[in-house]
Structure 1
Amino acid sequence: MDCIDAVNIQLKNKFKLKDLGDLKFFLGIELSKSKIGIPMYQRHYVLSLLEDYGMLACKSFIVPMLPNLHLHNNFGTSIVDPVIYRRLIGRLLYLTISRPNISYTIHKLSQFVSKPCTEHMADANILLRYLKHTAGQVILFKSASDCNVHAYVDADWGSCMDTRRSITRFCIFLGNSLVSWKAKRQKTVSKSSAEAEYRPLASVSIEIVWL
């Protein structure tokens, strides 16, 4: 606390400012301190999103995406107003700041913002129903944790129905705390499952070095 107080004094000598205490809410992200660590969540943001799209009273869903679902460009008829879909995906992308469990689903849905179809919107609504089921889910940065880095990486070979590119997925932990994650389509087509696996290994290695 002495270091924090010293920094505050130096800042007050240069700028006119007011110390608001511990950070609790910032740009839709909620934080709170406890003995076990710092939980980060976006419950208020989720409820606001559900309200804007008329899904507050919807029936909840237990998974973010239907199993064995293979999305592609011509998946139903084109929706009348694609701006609604694009705006929804943009708001969902911001939610991945604290919700790594929906990163893959949003990655898949965001591939069709240029020409969304009715089935894409239906799957986006399933994700909204899942968010209602898990509105208060948090990501916890534990106070009692080591500083060892652990990484898990995988690839879904040729899973993109339109381009036959593979999907890279990884998550990185600092001790017991999840600090980095990604789900992204690879830039080129992999000719074998081994090649598809080596590419995410390279990506996660770069991320680990940066961390």
Structure 2
Amino acid sequence: MIITGDDSEYIAFVKARLRDQFLMTDLGPLRYFLGIEVSSTSDGFYISQEKYIQDLLARATLGDERTVETPMELNVKLQPTNGDPLPDPTHYHHLVGSLVYLVVTRPDISYPVHILSQFVSAPSTVHYSHLLRVLRYLRGTITRRLIFSCSSSLQLQCYSDATWASDPSDSRSLFAYCVFLGGSLIAGKTNKQTTVSHSSVEAELRPMALLTAEVTWLRWLLADFGVSITTPTLVLSDSKGAISVARDPVKHELTKNIGVDAFYTRA
């Protein structure tokens, strides 16, 4: 059990009551939990998975000490038919599963992990080579951490983007969004859309609607914590067409097929 808060006297009271009812040990301030390392300084909280990455690299047995600058090459379009099938995909499954958990503190690998996880049912030699590239990237960036600053403002700011028809196997679009509380990343997602978008505007507008729902929930959650946000939350996108439709979803009859997302984002 993890007890958090800024009232030390009440925390001591809660722990005393718990000890009266249960057999428990006070392990002190949080340092390590489920592979996630937590450190507290005067600047804020840092979370990382450095030891987890070290263990993962040891299990991967790369066979060399090379590192790379990026987790995936630019403009790579992987398909199920690339390369020869792996005779035993168990190792691929294990490594991809470990990387999925690592995304908790390393959002910089979320895109390649999303791509590679699509081939776990039938991975090939090509998919495995790109998986090793992600591991070599982690080796060179093993000390990177997420920070939750004590001086960060309590204002939400969000970013949304999508690549239209980017998957060559089914023409579905890939989207991503992230949410910052001040300068701290608190939420994010990378996924493939469930249906094919007819235009880049539609592809961009769908994640904007999902992000709007996420922000609505986060504002309610912060209000429950006593953090009242009275100003509008910025949702930033680089699609002029999607922004235009979100502002005025009845401007053109061709937007009827995405009108629900447009109205929801605008509400």
Assess same fold via TM > 0.5.
yes
Query: SS where residue 112 of structure 1 aligns?
Result: coil
Aligned to 1:140: 147
Of 90, 97, 109, the residue aligned with 1:102 is: 109
- What's the CA shift string for 1:99-152, capped at 9, x where partnerless? 110001100111111111111000000000000001111011111112111100
Stretches (4+) displaced over 6 A: none
Alignment of 1:163 with 2:160, yes or no, is no
Matched to 2:65, the amino acid is C
- Between 1 and 2, higher relative CO (CA 8 Å, sep ≥ 6) is seen in 1
* Pair 1:154–1:2, CA change in 2 (3 A): same
Of 178, 184, 188, the residue aligned with 1:181 is: 188
Distance 1:108 1:136 in 2: 24
Query: Does the Cα contact within 8 Å between 1:30 and 1:42 map onto a contact in 2?
Result: yes
Question: How big is the shift at 1:56?
Answer: 7.2
Map 1:55-134 → 2, pairs under 5 A: 55=62, 57-134=64-141
Question: How big is the shift at 1:58?
Answer: 2.3
Distance 1:101 1:171 in 2: 12
Alignment of 1:193 with 2:200, yes or no, is yes
* Residue segments in structure 2 that go unaligned for 5+ positions in a row: 1-7, 219-267
Question: How big is the shift at 1:21?
Answer: 0.6
* Residue segments in structure 1 that go unaligned for 5+ positions in a row: none
TM-score, scaled to structure 2: 0.77
Of 44, 57, 62, the residue aligned with 2:51 is: 44
Query: SS where residue 136 of structure 2 aligns?
Result: helix
CA RMSD of aligned residues (A): 1.0
Query: Does the Cα contact within 8 Å between 1:50 and 1:56 map onto a contact in 2?
Result: no
TM-score, scaled to structure 1: 0.97
Paired-residue identity, %? 39
After TM superposition, the structure 1 stretch with the greater mean CA deviation from structure 2, 24-33 or 4-13, is 4-13
Aligned to 2:10: 3
Query: SS where residue 10 of structure 2 aligns?
Result: helix
